Structure 1
C-alpha cells in the first residue's frame, strides 16, 4: 500500500471515523466482527525464515478487513544499528487492508493461511478495541526480542487477552517439540553459514525445555497450536477455537526441514581433518603450518571477544554465559608467536606455554561440564570440532619444543 494510503487507513482506524452509509472495522458491533489468524510461511531471505503472522478483523456487514501485525521496524530510527547490536531493538505495530497486506507474500511465493477463530461478540469487540488502542502512535512501539517478544508472541498475547487467558493456560500445560536452538537451526539450515554462526553464539538459554506457549514464538507453531485449543461455548461445554482453516496461497518456496540438522558429525569431521592437516604441515611445510595455525588462533580470539561482548555488553540474553568461551577466547592470541617460533624449531615462551596449558585445561573443563548433570548447553558439535584442533596445536608446539 502507498504510504499516503496507509497513513489514511491508520488515521481512520485510530479515530474511529466511518462513513455514515455503513459501519467499518473501527466501530462495527462485536456481533458483526469476524476474527482470523493469518500465517505467512518462511521466506528465502534470512530475516524471513521464521515466518510472520497477523490478526485479521473483518466487518461482515461492510466487508472491510484489516490485518494487524507487529513486525515493522524503522531503519531510519536514531541509533538503529547500535541498538540492534546491543539487543535493544524497537519494533512497531502496523495495520493494513487485508488484501494489500497479503499481496506481498503471495507475490514472493510464501504461503498464506487463514484460520478463522471462534470468538464471541464480546471477545471480538474487546480484541478490536485493544488492537486499535495498541495501534496509536504512543502505544505502537515495543522492545523486540527474538524469542519472547516478537511478531508472533504479540499476536498470541493479544488473542490470549481477548480470550481471558485460555491460550496461556492450555499451552503452558503442554510440552514444546523443540528448543530455541533446534528451531533456529532448523529454520536457518538453508543458510548454513548463518546457522553455524547462530549456533555458536547461542548459550544455555537456547537449550531450555519449552512449553507449547513458549514455542509459539514461531508463527507456524502458533497456527498449529491454535488448532487444538478448546474454548467455552457459553452453555457449559467447549468447542474448537479454530473453526476453519484455508490456504489462501500455497507455498512456492523450499520448505524448511521438520527437524534440526545434526551438526555433530560434520563439525567433528571438520575438526579432525583440520587437526590432521596441522600435524602433517608441521612436518612437511612449516610455513604453511604457521599460517594455518595463525588463522585458527586469530579467528578463535575474535569469536571469544564477540561472545564476551554479547554476554557483558548486550541484552541478547540467549547468548549469555556461553560455554563455547572455554574453547574460543582471546587467550588464543598469546599462541600466535609460539607457532612461528615452532617454524624455526624454537621453544614457546613461558607465557605462551602457560596460555597453552590453560587453554587445554579449559577445553577439558568444557568437556567435563557437558557431561555433568544439570548443564544444559548443547554444544557437542563445537566440542567435537575444537578438541582435536587444540590437541593438534599442543602437539605441534610441544614436538618442536622437544626437537629444540
Structure 2
C-alpha cells in the first residue's frame, strides 16, 4: 500500500472523530496513559501503550495509538529486520480500543495524568498535528523508538523536560528486563538472547516497555506533586492454564544438546557444528545488514562461529592439520566468549552449548594434533 493510499485510509478511519479533535478542550478534559498487558504472540509479548484524551462535554474519547504498521509494505520482513520499517500513529475510539483488548483477554490499566488545562490543550493540539501530517510516521527501533517511547516523548514535550524517565540509579540491563517476559517460551527466549548483542547488556537508561512505564509513573513527580492523579485497573485478564511443555523448556534443550556428546556419532557432530556455523553466518549477515543497534557487534558469534563450516570442510577432506588448527581457534574464541558472558543474564541458557562445543572441539584438537 502506498503512503498516499495509507493516508487516505487513515483519514477515513479518523474522519468521524476528526472534527471533534480540533478544538478547545473543556475544563473537564482528562488525559491518561493506557497500559495493555502481555500476550503470547510475538508482537504482544511486551504489552502496549496508548494515550487517551477524554472530554465528555466535547464528545471526545479517543486513544492515540503509536503501534500501527502496514503488513502490505513491500518487503515488509526485510525492512523490519533492516530497521527501516515505518510505524505510524492512528486513533481509536476508546470503547472500540477497550473492547478489542478485552476480547484478547489482555489487562488494561489507566493512569490519569495530573496536567494543567494548558498542558492538556498543548498535548491535544500536538497529537492532532502529528496525526494529520507526515510526522505520523516514524522509524521503529526496538528500544529507542516504539509505542511507549513515543508516548513518553509527547508527554515530556508539554511538561518541558524529561520528567518521565527511568529511575536513577538504573540497576538492570535491557536484557535482564526483557528475559522475564519470555519465560513462558524457552525457545523464543533462547532466540532473542542469541540475536541480541552488547547493547542489551547496557543499563536500561531508556524507559521502553509499557509495564515498566506504568510502574515508573506511579512514583513520578513534577513540581513536588505526583504526575499521576489516579491509577485504575479497567480490565484484569483471566489467568490462563499453566501447562507444562515437555519440549519447550531448558531441561529438554539441555538434554538434547548434551546427547550429542553421549551418542558419539560423526553424523551428529556434523549436524551440530553445521547448525552452530549457520547461526554464526546469520548473525554476521544481520549484524552488517540491519540498522538495529541491538543486533550489532554481536559477541555470540564467538560461540556460533562461521568458521565451524570451514572446520567441517577440513573434517570431510580429513586434513588433520587444519582440523586441529580450527578446533583450537574455536576453543580460543570460546574462552574469550566465557570471559564476556560470565556475569551476563544469558549464561545458563548457553551453558549446554558451551559444554558440548568445548568437549567436542577439544577432542578434535587432541586427536588431530601433529604427530612427531
**Whole-Å separation in 2 of the counterparts to 1:85 and 1:253:** 33
Q: In the alignment, is residue 139 of structure 1 matched against residue 130 of structure 2?
A: no
Q: In the alignment, is residue 28 of structure 1 matched against residue 19 of structure 2?
A: no
1:64-75 pair list within 5 angstroms: 64-75=60-71
- Provide closer, same or farther for how the CA distance between residues 379 and 107 of structure 1 changes in structure 2, counting only shifts above 3 A: closer
Higher alpha-carbon Rg: 1
1:293-304 pair list within 5 angstroms: 293-304=269-280
Match for residue 86 of structure 1 among 51, 71, 82:
82
Q: 2:38 matched to which residue of 1?
A: 42
- Provide closer, same or farther for how the CA distance between residues 54 and 34 of structure 1 changes in structure 2, counting only shifts above 3 A: same
- Provide closer, same or farther for how the CA distance between residues 357 and 103 of structure 1 changes in structure 2, counting only shifts above 3 A: same
Asked whether the equivalents of residues 229 and 242 of structure 1 are also in contact (C-alpha less than 8 Å), the reply is yes
CA shift, 1:401, in A, is: 4.3
Q: In the alignment, is residue 248 of structure 1 matched against residue 234 of structure 2?
A: yes
Q: In the alignment, is residue 10 of structure 1 matched against residue 6 of structure 2?
A: no
Match for residue 187 of structure 1 among 172, 181, 189:
181
**Whole-Å separation in 1 of the counterparts to 2:118 and 2:67:** 27
Length-normalised TM-score, structure 2: 0.86
CA shift, 1:5, in A, is: 10
Q: 1:119 matched to which residue of 2?
A: 115
Deviation digits for residues 35-74 of structure 1 (CA, Å, limit 9, x no counterpart): 1111111122121011011111111313420000100000
**Whole-Å separation in 2 of the counterparts to 1:31 and 1:192:** 50
CA shift, 1:98, in A, is: 0.5
Q: 2:359 matched to which residue of 1?
A: 392
How many residues end up aligned between the 2 structures?
359
CA shift, 1:351, in A, is: 2.6
**Whole-Å separation in 2 of the counterparts to 1:322 and 1:390:** 19
Uncovered stretches (5+) of structure 2, i.e. residues with no partner: 1-6, 243-248
1:99-110 pair list within 5 angstroms: 99-110=95-106
Q: In the alignment, is residue 226 of structure 1 matched against residue 217 of structure 2?
A: yes
Q: 2:303 matched to which residue of 1?
A: 327
**Whole-Å separation in 2 of the counterparts to 1:310 and 1:142:** 22
**Whole-Å separation in 2 of the counterparts to 1:310 and 1:377:** 22
Length-normalised TM-score, structure 1: 0.80
Q: CA RMSD in A?
A: 3.0
Match for residue 93 of structure 2 among 82, 92, 97:
97
1:287-366 pair list within 5 angstroms: 289-337=265-313, 348-366=319-337
**Whole-Å separation in 2 of the counterparts to 1:241 and 1:275:** 56
**Whole-Å separation in 2 of the counterparts to 1:295 and 1:205:** 31
Asked whether the equivalents of residues 30 and 122 of structure 1 are also in contact (C-alpha less than 8 Å), the reply is no
**Whole-Å separation in 1 of the counterparts to 2:294 and 2:233:** 34
**Whole-Å separation in 2 of the counterparts to 1:358 and 1:119:** 60
Q: 1:175 matched to which residue of 2?
A: 169
The SS at the match of 2:199 is helix
Asked whether the equivalents of residues 65 and 90 of structure 2 are also in contact (C-alpha less than 8 Å), the reply is yes
Uncovered stretches (5+) of structure 1, i.e. residues with no partner: 18-23, 233-237, 257-262, 283-288, 342-346
- Provide closer, same or farther for how the CA distance between residues 115 and 200 of structure 1 changes in structure 2, counting only shifts above 3 A: same
